[in-house]
Structure 1
Amino acid sequence: MSKVLEVATPIRSSPDKFYDFFKNHTSDLLTVFPASFQSVQVLEGEDGKIGCVKVWNFIAGGISQMLKLRTEAINDAERTITYKAIEGDLMILYKVFQFTIAPGNGVAKWAIEYEKTTELVPPPEIYGVFSISITEVVDLYLLTH
């Protein structure tokens, strides 16, 4: 059974700019947040389109990881984007792992939906913390660019 971990972080940049960054420019995370994002490769489709598949190599919680993400849903009216993990290190711990980004006025919300492979697996709190870090770095970048 899936559960949802939600985090929210204040943002000072425009929600439209924040949304546009995650819809069309996520590969820029390599430049914006090089301490955590090591590489990204588009395997299918293109940024800003449902079905786009990318392989990310990143560090979260001090652990180097690989994750293949597919853009599952984009809702321009509500400014939400959902990405689903389809392969990678996270899939050892979680049968289901997907997250939705929803920037609003003064806040960016992340909802991480997950289903653990066993009861011994912890909730993905490390990724909630990682989402907050990403939000803070991207917000600062957008305020200065």
Structure 2
Amino acid sequence: MGLKGKMIGQTVVKHSGVGDVFHDLFSKRPHDLTIASPDKIQGFAQLEGGIGAVGSMIFWNYTHDGKERVAKQIIEEVDEVKQSIKFRMIEGDLLELYKTFVITYHVDTDGEDNLVTWTMEYEKLDELGPHPGTLLAFALHLIEDIEAHHLNQA
């Protein structure tokens, strides 16, 4: 088994505009994720830079696997055309398990269908370290929360 890994998960969102809403939340209104998915995301803080800007440092409070956790990230890439953002972990609970951890999402829109793809690239601290399968499931369920919240607002 290798120490480096990559996991990819995708969800099709069938409601028009949800892909745009998803990207808008992460790039322009990340603090609203606490409203769209309060059981998963409890806090967001902009530590340095501008919201959704490359080089920005951000901080999250979230609940994963029934435990309160924290993450500090730097935004490495933003692509408005592909509706994608790449986040690199620099501090937090994940770095107790992984040497490096990078999360990227992008949204592909085709008419009313939106395909949201999460990619998690990581390097485990040792061979026995866990694969981030439950974190990928967390991210995929977050999409469902955002879709449900968007439909309730419409």
Q: TM-score range by the shorter chain?
A: over 0.9
2:87 alignment partner, one of 74, 83, 86: 83
Aligned sequence identity (%): 30
Please tell me whether Structure 1 or Structure 2 has the larger radius of gyration of its CA atoms: 2
Q: Which amino acid aligns with 1:75?
A: D
Whichever residue aligns with residue 140 of structure 1, its letter is A
Aligned to 2:128: 120
- Residue 5 of structure 1 aligns with an amino acid whose one-letter code is M
Contact 2:41 2:62 in 1 (8 A): yes
Give the number of equivalent residue pairs.
Answer: 145
Tell me how far apart the structure 1 counterparts of residues 12 and 5 of structure 2 sit (CA, whole Å). Answer: 24
TM superposition outliers: structure 1 runs of 4+ over 6 Å: none
TM-score under structure 1 length normalisation: 0.92
| TM-score relative to the length of structure 2 | 0.87
Which letter does structure 1 place at the counterpart of 2:140? I
Question: Alpha-carbon deviations, 1:97-125, whole Å to 9, x = none?
Answer: 11111111221100011110111111100
> Is 1:36–1:59's contact at 8 Å kept on the other side of the alignment?
yes
What residue in structure 1 maps to residue 9 of structure 2? 7
RMSD of equivalent CA atoms: 1.4
Distance across 2 between alignment mates of 1:99 and 1:76: 17
Report if the CA contact (8 A) 2:106-2:118 is conserved. yes
